[in-house]
Amino acid sequence: MKASYCYSLLLILLAVSAKEHSLFGAADPTDGFTQLPLTDDNFDLQKPYNIPLSQRYNYSDGIRSLWVYNNDKPFKHSSGTRPRTEIRIKFQIHGAAEGATTLQLRIYDGNMRYYKYNLVATDLYDKWFRVNVIHDVNEGKITVFIDGEQKFVVKDQGPGDLYFKCGVYAAPENSSNFMESRWRDIKLFKK
Ligand SMILES: *[C@@H]1O[C@H](CO)[C@@H](O)[C@H](O)[C@H]1NC(C)=O
Ligand SMILES: *[C@@H]1O[C@H](CO)[C@@H](O)[C@H](O)[C@H]1NC(C)=O
């Protein structure tokens, strides 16, 4: 029924590499994948609607820093969502309708969780780490690697308008005033 089934063999991998050199031997999660061209034209920035991007985003020396304050406005006037500064990677994969997310990796108290549920990895505040996500659309399966090590496998949530995002969003109402994440070497691959 959905057009997206036509693309069911597509596999996508997002690699955010934090290391200069791979510490990993033959078993790198990107093995067998082809890197796709990705330029700044593919990066769509969302930030509190009433504040200039330069006050919530800094791209310098290859590092993208994104931050919000707890009482910032949402990304658009009409939205009731919590403040965010996020990169949305515009890379058309599927043409299907907008849907719920198929995966969220969140950090709470330094630990990475699948949404607010399963623990994926621990002790990740204030350090660089590498995250790879493989979305096997055909199998409806998502695999998450941290620093090259497989940490989590989960079923996806069906076809939809699939794209990757990263940044800061959805801090609970009474969390700390400042929330920041930094990203580098964002890459997209397919198989
Ligand atoms: C942007 O990042 C660079 C490098 O870390 C830093 O020197 C600079 O002060 C930052 N600018 C802002 C506005 O945060
Ligand atoms: C946040 O804190 C305020 C002030 O302490 C309190 O009134 C409010 O109920 C809290 N909201 C949540 C969601 O905990």
CATH hierarchy code of domain 2-190: 2.60.120.200
Q: Confidence band (pLDDT; 50, 70, 90) for 122?
A: very high
Cα(174) to centroid(ligand 2), Å: 6
Q: What is the pLDDT of residue 98?
A: 47
Least Cα distance to 11 among 39, 31, 41 occurs for 31
Q: What is the pLDDT of residue 143?
A: 96
Token pair in block for residue 140 = 């409806």
Minimum-distance ligand to the CA of 55?
1
Which of 70, 71, 173, 176 has most ligand 2 atoms within 8 Å of its beta carbon, as the pocket-test mutant? 173
- Tell me the mean pLDDT in the region 133-148: 94
- For the chain, domain boundaries: 2-190
- The pTM of the full predicted model, rounded to 2 decimals, is 0.80
Q: Confidence band (pLDDT; 50, 70, 90) for 12?
A: very low
Among protein residues, the one whose CA lies closest to atom 7 of ligand 2: 174
70 C-beta closer than 6 A to ligand 1:
no
Cα(138) to centroid(ligand 1), Å: 41
58 C-beta closer than 6 A to ligand 1:
yes
Among protein residues, the one whose CA lies closest to atom 3 of ligand 2: 174
Tens of pLDDT, residue by residue over 159-189, are 777 888 999 998 888 889 999 999 999 999 9
The Cα 39–Cα 130 span in angstroms is 20
- Per cent of the chain over pLDDT 70 is 82
Cα-based distances in Å from 132 to 1, 129, 145, 153: 30, 10, 5, 12
Least Cα distance to 101 among 91, 111, 112, 88 occurs for 88
